[in-house]
């Protein structure tokens, strides 16, 4: 297992945002295929499980996974405390050993792209936010994904190459020791806590949804007005790399307010005794997906599909226990998406649109000044 280790270091905003540009431009243009990967092994697996019931499919994939060597490699953004229960349960059920590499979403995607470019085997299955999945699919790095379980997923949470494993709901959060009169809504957070809040450095998909679905559709602003409104609140704000780090900084009192900490992370920190609180889930509910897919270079496609199906079934209950929201409608998390006026950040956004909003977001973050906090 590989993890990123914390240190006390700051990086310049220019250097941090440059990393995103590297990912968006990696492996050439969106329509360029750098490697003609051999997916015949995956196609053969699909032929052997076509038309089977879920139970028959599960048994056949388990059999084929054993023939592949009884191991599978996962690249994921989830922390060890969240990944270990899932991989341990999978290993206990099937006897298939899971090795995983954990990093931030952009690092996961970049590692997959590098392996595909070099035609080098590595990940059998990846998990990262839907925006990274869009980039990987556009770069021809993912194989077609076929599982009948997509029929049970929340609408809009899957496409030909990616399937959402769980939802992430960004919520306004604060340190209760430092903030006695918490923000009442987003506008209150941006104005009354100007220069005192955290904003995540890679949240361009969240920002796009915030502008288009909240400020434009609900507050009747133009896109230009919405972007300018957020920019005006940025001077002095803390730009942080990583949602996990945001929760850590908020819990330790190093920041007062977080504009978009993840609901599951704040809930878990609060349960562990941290002095944090989040605004209740209420209309409108923005949410993002953590998606999974098969890199074209996988050498253990049956094992990858078996793990994916597990994450979309048995793993969903474990995910709910981690305060996350399952993507499978047969399992219930902390809130029911269909009960709210929610707006998802789609898995079907184009790479060009993502690149456009990444550029806009970088320009907005530049208004904060200072450096990006990337370690505790």
CA dist 109 and 112 (Å) reads: 5
- Token output for 284: 């409108």
The pLDDT of residue 374 is 86
For residue 187, give the nearest of 246, 236, 230, 239 by alpha carbon.
Answer: 230
The pLDDT of residue 11 is 32
CA dist 71 and 94 (Å) reads: 10
CA dist 160 and 340 (Å) reads: 27
Q: Is the pTM of this model over 0.85?
A: no
- Rg of the chain, C-alpha, whole Å: 20
Tell me the domain boundaries of the chain.
33-165+289-335, 170-280+356-373
Buried b (16+ CB within 10 A) or exposed e, 60-87: bbbebbeebeeebbbbbbbeeebbeebb
- Token output for 264: 């599951």
The pLDDT of residue 30 is 37
The pLDDT of residue 232 is 93
CA dist 287 and 365 (Å) reads: 21
CA angle, 316 as apex, 339 and 134 as ends, to 5°?
80
Question: What is the three-class DSSP state of 328?
Answer: strand
The pLDDT of residue 36 is 61
- Identify the CATH assignment for 170-280+356-373 out of 3.40.190.10, 3.30.310.50, 3.30.465.10, 3.40.50.2300: 3.40.190.10
* DSSP conformational letter for 337: G
pLDDT digits (tens, 9 = 90+) for 301-343: 999 999 999 999 999 999 999 988 999 999 988 766 666 666 5
What are residue 18's DSSP bridge partners? Answer: none
- Identify the CATH assignment for 33-165+289-335 out of 3.40.190.10, 2.60.40.1220, 3.40.50.12590, 3.30.70.330: 3.40.190.10
CA dist 98 and 68 (Å) reads: 13
* DSSP conformational letter for 327: S
CA dist 333 and 340 (Å) reads: 14
The pLDDT of residue 351 is 77
Listed as ranges, residues in the chain with pLDDT below 50 are 1-22, 24-34
Phi and psi based region of residue 186 (left: phi greater than 0; alpha: psi -120 to 50; beta: remaining): alpha
What single string gives the DSSP state of each residue in 197-230?
Answer: EEEETT-HHHHHHIIIIIIITTT---HHHHHHHH
The pLDDT of residue 170 is 87
pLDDT digits (tens, 9 = 90+) for 156-175: 889 999 999 998 888 899 99
- Token output for 28: 């050439």
- Assess contact for 305 and 294: CB atoms under 8 A: yes
CA dist 276 and 282 (Å) reads: 18
Element of type H or E holding 289: strand 285-293
CA dist 304 and 1 (Å) reads: 17
The pLDDT of residue 338 is 64
CA dist 198 and 271 (Å) reads: 22
- Identical fold, 33-165+289-335 and 170-280+356-373: yes
The pLDDT of residue 177 is 98
């Amino acid at each position: 297992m590989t993890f990123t280790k914390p240190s006390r270091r700051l990086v310049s905003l220019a250097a941090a945002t440059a990393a995103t540009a590297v990912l968006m431009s990696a492996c050439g243009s969106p329509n360029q295929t750098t490697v003609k990967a051999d997916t015949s092994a995956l196609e053969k697996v699909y032929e052997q499980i076509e038309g089977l019931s879920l139970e028959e499919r599960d048994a056949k994939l388990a059999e084929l996974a054993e023939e592949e060597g009884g191991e599978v490699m996962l690249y994921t953004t989830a922390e060890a405390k969240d990944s270990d229960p899932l991989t341990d349960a999978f290993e206990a059920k099937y006897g298939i050993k899971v090795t995983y590499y954990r990093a931030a979403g952009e690092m996961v995607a970049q590692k997959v792209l590098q392996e595909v470019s070099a035609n080098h085997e590595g990940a059998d299955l990846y998990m990262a936010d839907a925006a990274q999945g869009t980039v990987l699919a556009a770069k021809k790095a993912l194989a077609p994904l076929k599982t009948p379980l997509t029929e049970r997923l929340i609408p809009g949470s899957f496409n030909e190459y990616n399937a959402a494993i769980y939802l992430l709901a960004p919520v306004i959060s604060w340190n209760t020791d430092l903030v006695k009169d918490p923000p009442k809504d987003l506008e209150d957070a941006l104005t009354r806590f100007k220069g005192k809040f955290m904003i995540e450095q890679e949240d361009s998909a969240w920002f796009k949804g915030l502008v288009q679905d909240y400020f434009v559709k609900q507050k009747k602003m133009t896109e230009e007005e919405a972007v300018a409104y957020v920019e005006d609140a940025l001077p002095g704000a803390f730009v942080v790399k990583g949602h996990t780090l945001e929760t850590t900084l908020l819990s330790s009192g190093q920041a007062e307010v977080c504009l978009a900490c993840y609901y599951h992370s704040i809930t878990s920190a609060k349960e562990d005794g941290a002095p944090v609180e989040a605004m209740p889930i209420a209309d409108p509910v923005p949410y993002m997906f953590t998606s999974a897919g098969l890199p074209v270079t996988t050498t253990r496609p049956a094992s990858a599909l078996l793990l994916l199906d597990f994450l979309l079934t048995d793993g969903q209950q474990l995910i709910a226990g981690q305060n996350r929201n399952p993507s499978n409608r047969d399992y219930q998390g902390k809130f029911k998406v269909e009960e709210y006026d929610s707006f998802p950040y789609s898995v079907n956004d184009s790479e060009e649109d993502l690149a456009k909003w990444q550029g806009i977001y970088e320009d907005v973050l530049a208004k904060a000044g200072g450096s990006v906090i990337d370690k505790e």
